[in-house]
Structure 1
Amino acid sequence: MAYTIKDVAKKAGVSIATVSRVLNNQPGFSEKTKQKVQQVIEELGYEPNAVARGLINNKTHTIGVLFPELSSMLVTDFLNGIETMAHELGSSVIVCHTEADGEKTMKYLQLLNEKRIDGIIFVSAILKEEYYNYIRKMGIPMVLLSTESYAYPVPYVKVNDQHAAYSATKYLLNKGHKKIGMISGNKDDLIAGKPRIMGFKMALKDSGIAFTDNIIYSKGFSFQDGLDGMEKLMKQSSEISAIFAASDEIAFGALSFAYQHGIKIPDDVSIIGYDNLSIAEMAIPPLTTVGQPLIKMGKTAASMLFEMLESGNVFVENRILPHEILERETVREKR
């Protein structure tokens, strides 16, 4: 037999409202009453219905997370951080795979609205006007993770991509490399593509090295893009002694191409990646890379969202988290 909150109230000799206040840790009852209600709940084996509790306190203790690409290795670490923080605070997570598709994104937002979620974390994609307007109508807070918006006042947590790309390129320059190539994301991608290319170009310029189109391959952030980019750069400019890969997945593709074609890493060509995915140190050789604190970024985004829910503020301070160079075995001094 499934007992209801009415059964608990009757056996404890209190009102349904009092049982509700005890369940939701709200004021308005004595310690003796609390103990009596908790005792009855235990005796009956009563399990509060999450939807019913949500109707009472106007919260479902559920947040939505929208990812443009679930196959990306970044997702695991971001989600790890988000779920860890949500779990600590007694909430659950609904994950939505939008494929960066406008129609699919809107359908997921409608679904999340029907589920009466408390807030949204929007990851690694451009926040379009239709998304922003719909979420505003939902009346819930939102935090951007690994992206930002100039058009809309939405708090975000990310690394400074341009600065991090500058640091990666400067690291190669300081190792004595003058002929440096880049395998980047799409040059029109305002989230991570364009900023990382700008950082690369700026580092070359500050070191008095001219940028030419034959030292960059710009398409996407995948393993296949790394394979294709490495092949093209090796054909376009045989003098290249180092590669800045704009993601670790790109770097893994470049390493694979090098292995297949007898190019020794780092003896013939040095490679530095970007992200510090958990498998970067498992690569052969272990990958030198720019580290984003991915799990911490996920935790921070969730913490910001729950802070907004708790305080009622529609905006919290943006967070730019620090990057770092993780030195392993894919970069050597240029002799």
Structure 2
Amino acid sequence: MDKQTVTIYDVAREAAVSMATVSRVVNGNPNVKPATRQKVLDVIDQLDYRPNAVARGLASKKTTTIGVIIPDLTNSYFSELARGIDDVALMYKYNIILASSDENHDKELQVVDNLTAKQVDGIIFMGNQVSKDLRDAFNRANAPIVFAGSVDPEHQSPSVNIDYVAAVTDAVAKLVGRGNRRIAFVTGSMDESINKDYRLKGYKQALSSKRIGYDEGLIFQTDYSYKAGYALAKALQDVKATAAFVGDDELAAGVLNGLTDAGVKVPEDFEIITSNDTRFTEISRPTMSSITQPLYDIGAVSMRLLTKLMNNEEIGDKTVVLPYGLKKRQSTK
């Protein structure tokens, strides 16, 4: 069946339900039995039905709606990105549905399916891990998706970020340049492509360019939380590290305070460079040196890229790389 000619009537007939029921499913109305909703969604999927956006807008006074999936609402990195997304969405008079996945894989799948049921016109994804299940859910959504401040390891979806490999290489090279030979690499899960394929690669590049051997014992993967960073202080002392690159600012603040409370002086005895330049870098004492990223711009450019995809405009490069910098503060000598 030509998808241009598939109508709500075809979906209703195929699913053996009323057109009103299909309409309720399409508009995300909760008053539909789960089994019926699933049956209708399966038929929509099968027939590749796309409600006519103009007709739908007229019928329900609905405007273009964007789903924004954020892994952690409390993390300044994501909230700063969200500000840039929101401002551009406002400019285009788009509605935003902000959905938090709490860095939980099952919840992430549920969030994507909920957004699909609400027939969002586009999705901005900020997570760092794309499983096969999630990829399938994205395909079911049948709407353009842009990765903001995160990476798509398979380069299937457009993304906006910085050159994480180069940024980490520069940061770690700075630590080596100041005489550190045992530099810890502290980050979130290595299941996340951004850590395994990008940050770790930058770390290794910096060491090998300075002829320093790679030591597995200096690699620490943990949660992106203050508590997790604080708890690492003893382990960092045990491996005789004199510096650390940390993949998240809240995590870095935990490392900093954990070391300070253990009597380790930062930066005299231990240097820290963190990665996102959020407000944590300014409110910690000492303040923290960091890779700088144009977080607001990453969000804004992601939203603008999504508008182009939704309007079927020509886009040049699917991966937009914005410039980064290094900001020297008090946590490095």
Same fold (TM over 0.5): yes
Partner of 1:107: 110
Counterpart check, 1:61 vs 2:41: no
| Shift in CA distance, 115/55, structure 1 to aligned 2, threshold 3 Å | farther
> What residue is the counterpart of 1:173 in the other structure?
176
In structure 2, distance between residues paired with 1:54 and 1:120: 19
**Farther off after superposition, 165-174 or 179-188:** 179-188
Question: Which residue in the other structure is 1:265 paired with?
Answer: 266
Residue 315 to residue 121, structure 1, CA distance change in 2 (3 Å): farther
Q: Who is 1:6 aligned against?
A: none
CA separation in 1, counterparts of 2:132 and 2:170? 33
Equivalence for 1:162: 165
Structure 2: distance between partners of 1:136 and 1:254: 39
| Distance change in 2, residues 1:192/1:59 (3 Å) | farther
Residue pair 1:288, 1:329 contacting (<8 A) in 2 also: yes
> In the alignment, which residue of structure 1 is the partner of 2:297?
296
- When structure 1 is superposed on structure 2, of 132-141 and 75-84 the one drifting more is 132-141
Q: What is the root-mean-square deviation of aligned Cα atoms in Å?
A: 2.6
State yes or no: 1:142 paired with 2:133: no
Which is higher, the Rg of structure 1 or of structure 2? 1
Structure-2 change in CA distance of 1:105 and 1:313 (3 Å): farther
**Which stretch has the larger CA shift, 323-332 or 209-218?**
209-218
- CA distance in 2 between counterparts of 1:286 and 1:191 reads 25
Aligned to 2:206: 203
d(CA) in 2 for partners of 1:195 and 1:140?
Answer: 27
Aligned residues: 281
Whole-angstrom distance in 2 between the partners of 1:245 and 1:111: 34
Q: Distance in 1 between matches of 2:135 and 2:213?
A: 41
Distance in 1, matches of 2:308 and 2:73, equals: 27
Which 10-residue stretch deviates more, 145-154 or 68-77? 145-154
For the structure 1 residues 59 and 314, does the alpha-carbon distance in structure 2 shift closer, same or farther, using more than 3 Å as the test?
farther
CA contact (8 A) 1:59 1:118 kept: no
Structure 2 SS opposite 1:311: coil
Residue 237 of structure 2 corresponds to residue 217 of structure 1: no
Runs of 4+ in 1 over 4 A off after TM superposition: 50-53, 56-59, 312-316
**Which of 121, 125, 130 is the matching residue for 1:122?**
125
From 75, 79, 91, give the equivalent of 2:82: 79
What runs of 5+ residues in structure 2 fail to find an aligned partner? 1-52
> Retained in 2: the 8 A contact 1:304–1:316?
no
1:232–1:313 Cα change, 3 Å: same
Q: Report how far residue 307 of structure 1 moved.
A: 1.5
**What's the secondary structure of 1:120's corresponding residue?**
strand
110 and 314 in structure 1: CA distance in 2 versus 1, 3 angstrom threshold: farther
User: Which moved further from structure 2: 228-237 or 81-90?
Assistant: 228-237
The CA distance in 1 between the partners of 2:134 and 2:183, in whole Å, is 39
Match of 1:325 in 2: 326
Determine helix, strand or coil for the equivalent of 1:275: coil
List per-residue Cα deviations over 1:47-101 (Å, max 9, x = no partner).
Answer: xxx9987246996222101122223221210111110111111112111112344
Per-residue CA deviation, residues 260-295 of structure 1 (Å, 9 max, x unaligned), is 122221122111111101231121111101112211
Secondary structure of the corresponding residue to residue 144 of structure 1: strand
Deviations 1:316-335 (A, max 9, x none): 63101222101111100xxx
Superposition deviation, residue 194 in structure 1: 4.6
> Quick one: distance in 2 between partners of 1:132 and 1:264?
45
Contact persistence 2:149–2:299 (CA under 8 A): no
SS of residue matched to 1:281: helix
The residue number in structure 2 matching 1:45 is none
TM-score (norm: length of structure 2): 0.76
Deviation at 1:136, TM superposition (A): 3.4
- SS of residue in 1 equivalent to 2:275: strand
Q: Percent identity?
A: 25
